[in-house]
Chain A
Amino acid sequence: MSEHEYTPKSKVGKWFNDRLPLLTLANHLTDYPTPKNLNYWWTFGGILTFCLITQIVTGLVLAMHYIAHADMAFDSVEHIMRDVNYGWLIRYIHANGASMFFLAVYIHIFRSLFYGSYKSPREIIWIIGIIIYLLMMAAAFMGYVLPWGQMSFWGATVITNLFSAIPLVGEGIVTWLWGGYSVDNPTLTRFFTLHYLIPFLILGLVVLHIWALHVPGNNNPVGIDIKKPSKDTVPFHPYIVIKDGFALLMFMIVFAFFVFYTPNILGHADNYIEADPLVTPAHIVPEWYLLPFYAILRSVPDKLLGVVAMLSAILILAALPWLDTSKTRSAVFRPLYKQFYWILVADVLILGYVGAMPAEGLYLLVARVATAYYFLHFLLILPVLGLKEKTLPIPLSITDPVLGGSSNFSTAKNQTKIE
């Protein structure tokens, strides 16, 4: 990104950099011009990187003590909790870390939705992000199976059975996934292997995600391109590093609160009962971060269509850059979209709530309406809105509204209030 060619000062540095330009890369990362109007919603990329590293490090330690065997897994987790030095701490960080990871990723995704960060020229960043999100769900699901409690076992049974909805080959695929005729030891060992693998795939995709980001540069709250790098941007280091660091500290306070004060509140008590293939718990619920999709699955009374609806709800996000026809990126300048955005947020929260409730009566009705609205938002409202909506005037540059004197000053003032 830097316009100037970087040359290391020392002779050794130059010698090394000529052979492997790592110092050029480091220089690019520190000097990377960042829009100077980024708000705190932009700090979640850094927070997510922290979450990934935390999960990898704590996971590595847990793997030293965990035994992936149907007869021993449950006891080995209790062994970690009771016998291993600081095992309780490391496991609680890992278990709550998954929830924190999803909390951060949802904020990150909804940030993109508000400010139109998925729009041209950032479609590839967005799609890589969706793939990372899918892998996160796979990793979280398989990780939840490893303690081999009741929720682990039955969650694994229900989720793998989703594939049986596929006509003709479905049953064969399920048997193949299980390595048997039910969820059992072969299933556990392969889930452990994949659970270990996926974070590293995510790490690779994160590199691509950031690489793709550094081609056009960051989007920003006003959603316009950088006009004059010298005026509109600040170097990543130290400005953004400090800001990200501060946000990370705030985030870690929330994280630590869960780990030290309510480490089990996000889990399910039934998972402290060892897996029993003969008894299904009375009420199966996935972890909170999957509840909206679970509600969509249950709201459709047909097995295959339910599965199709659930998968579509996730995959539709990948098509978002083309479903949203508006040329204006930021919701700040889209008065109607802004309202529909908040309705969508409410809709997803409602789906999450009914996903945790029994699928009957009023809950089922609400789940159906909310599911219909979810698809309506992406398939009808967004495409039409982009063509019909009268957007507010966009400032001429990032600096323009801040310095004032432009015709867009009032717009800029309103915008600051919103944030």
Chain B
Amino acid sequence: MSEKKTNRRDFLFTATYAVGAVGVGATIWPMIDQMNPDASVKALASTEVDVSSVDRGKTITVLWRGKPVFIRRRTQEEIAEAKSVKLEDLKDPQKDEDRAKDPEWLVMLGVCTHLGCVPLDQKGDYNGWFCPCHGSHYDISGRIRKGPAPTNMEIPKYEFVNANTIKIG
């Protein structure tokens, strides 16, 4: 016991454990990864939306990757309101300019960042969205103002294909 010498057997044990661990890992990983989004789910990555019929002050909801996306054509007052908010009043500080490329169009995931419910349009203390599940209030820029949600509603990747069409994803 006093002197521990690495011998041939120790080497064999260590090598066997190492190979065994790699083998177990390589066997388990496919079992875990099969639960991740599959190729057919990933293939539905983008959606094009015709927004020509959306009036000012109205929101449409479209489905993208199984989630609702709010597209709101904001009025001048709403844009002014969104821009006037001081960053220090925000829980998750973000400028309105960073959220809406074209200030008239707010495109965001209609998913509450708390636990994933769909917030209600034009409700709540901040004239924006209100989540009925656990009471999160969002402003007209979709930023969290009050309630348990930790962050602003997410802005997906999107672009204007032309004046009337938005491509999400």
Contact = CB atoms under 8 A, between A and B. Distances in A.
A405 interface: no
Given A157-B117, A278-B68, A179 B41 contact: yes
A180 interface: yes
Interface in A286-330: 298, 300-304, 306
A277 B63 CA distance: 8
A283 B132 contact: yes
Contacts of B68: 277-278
B65 A180 contact: yes
Interface residues on A, range: 35 or more
A359 B135 contact: yes
A50 to B, nearest CB: 34
A111 B118 CA distance: 41
A211 B131 CA distance: 48
A360 interface: yes
Q: Which bucket holds chain B's interface residue count?
A: 20 to 34
B36 A175 contact: yes
- Name B's interface SS: loop
Interface stretch (A181-189, A391-399, A410-418): A181-189
Nearest to B45: A181
Contacts of B115: 157-159, 161-162, 164, 303
Contacts of B134: 298, 359
Nearest to A285: B133
Contact of A303 (B67, B132, B150): B150
B132 A180 contact: no
A175 B66 CA distance: 12
B168 interface: no
Interface string B137-150: 00000000001111
B57 interface: no
The 8 tightest CB contacts between A and B, nearest first, are A182-B66, A181-B65, A161-B116, A161-B115, A280-B117, A280-B118, A158-B115, A157-B116
21 contacts: A158-B133, A161-B116, A162-B115, A176-B32, A178-B37, A179-B36, A180-B37, A180-B41, A181-B41, A181-B65, A181-B67, A184-B41, A277-B63, A278-B118, A280-B119, A298-B148, A301-B148, A303-B115, A303-B150, A358-B135, A359-B134
Interface of B: 32, 35-38, 41, 61, 63, 65-68, 114-119, 131-135, 147-150
